[in-house]
Amino acid sequence: MPAQTCDPPLTTVAQPLGDMTALMVDLLLRRIEDGDDDVESRVCDTLLVRRACA
């Protein structure tokens, strides 16, 4: 259930799924092409969506 339809309203974190997917595909393709098995991590910007406070 989307947070905007909840009562009371919920504060949520919007995650950029498109950006996250593009980063993961890039990492996967590099791993396949280079045979690199090093662990890499990336951080995507997120947005805090404030709906209500407790």
Q: For position 17, what pLDDT does the model report?
A: 92
Boundaries of every domain in the chain: 3-49
Spatial distance between the Cα atoms of 52 and 10, rounded to a whole number of angstroms: 6
Place of tokens 């090093």: 38
29-to-35, 43, 50 alpha-carbon distances in Å: 10, 18, 36
Q: What tens digit of pLDDT does each residue of 38-47 get?
A: 888 888 888 9
pLDDT digits (tens, 9 = 90+) for 1-54: 466 677 778 888 889 999 999 999 998 998 999 987 888 888 888 898 888 766
